[in-house]
Amino acid sequence: MVDAFTFLRGDHESVLGMFEVLDGAPQGEGAKVSGLDTMVTNLIIAESQHEAIEQQYFWPTVRAYLDDGDKLADHAIAQEDSGKQLLQQLEDGRPGEPEYHGALAAFITAGREHIRYEQDVVWPRLAAVLGEGELQELGETLKRAKKSAPTRPHPDTPSNSSVQKTMGMAAATVDKIRDAATGRSRDNPPDAPTP
């Protein structure tokens, strides 16, 4: 079994690794032939899945167990919703376009800030009130949910947990069909194994 923080940390480390590579991404004509689009697609898939499962299960847990959980979750979800807008710009754009590179730079900055907020502000507070069994149960729930999570940002889908669990499942099904039909899923590497 994997606890929630270990599972989420694995996602965070993967994304931070992508950020390191993407920080120095070529622009202009060089971006079109560099493979940047594949790396950004991998980032979009990873982040879309990660944010969906957090909004379905992690942030409701924060709301339920912490006195100021609503405030903490609202702040984090606002960050995630802004990130989805940037991810959608990347999904719709192409390497070499100035707007694409602007959205990528903005997402990297915002993504790092969001990860710091989660790990430094929220996690210690939640760790103080949840037992190991509860953290493992949440971790297993997140792990199962990720397998059927959307692979695209869907910025217009409300971030409400119930909506994410219903509309998110439908969106994930459509995403997976689109990914298979377009070959997009072929370019996405598998998740790193979790301990």
Q: What is the CATH number of the domain that holds 160?
A: 1.20.120
Q: Is residue 156 part of a domain?
A: yes
Record the pTM: 0.86
Q: Is residue 149 part of a domain?
A: yes
Q: Is residue 194 part of a domain?
A: no
CA gap 157, 167 in Å, rounded: 8
Please enumerate in sequence order all residues whose Cβ is within 8 A of that of 172, keeping only pairs 6 or more positions apart, or say none: 52, 148, 149, 150, 151
Please enumerate in sequence order all residues whose Cβ is within 8 A of that of 176, keeping only pairs 6 or more positions apart, or say none: 151, 185
Question: What residue numbers bound the domain in which 101 lies?
Answer: 4-187
Q: How many domains does the chain have?
A: 1
Give the pLDDT confidence score for residue 122 in this predicted structure.
Answer: 98
Residue 134 backbone phi and psi in degrees, to 5: -65, -40
- How deeply is 125 buried, as exposed, middle or buried, from its count of CB atoms within 10 A (0-12, 13-18, 19+)? middle
- How deeply is 126 buried, as exposed, middle or buried, from its count of CB atoms within 10 A (0-12, 13-18, 19+)? buried
Q: Is residue 192 part of a domain?
A: no
Spatial contact of 119 and 33, defined as CB atoms under 8 Å apart:
no
Each residue's pLDDT tens digit in the chain (195 positions)?
899 999 999 999 999 999 999 987 878 777 666 778 889 999 999 999 999 999 999 999 999 999 999 999 999 999 999 999 999 999 999 998 899 999 999 999 999 999 999 999 999 999 999 999 999 999 999 999 999 899 888 877 767 666 566 666 666 666 776 777 777 766 665 555 555
Q: Is residue 118 part of a domain?
A: yes
Q: Is residue 182 part of a domain?
A: yes
Spatial contact of 64 and 168, defined as CB atoms under 8 Å apart:
no
Q: Is residue 195 part of a domain?
A: no
Tell which residue, 181, 149, 151, has the closest CA to residue 168: 149
Q: Is residue 130 part of a domain?
A: yes
Residue 87 backbone phi and psi in degrees, to 5: -60, -35
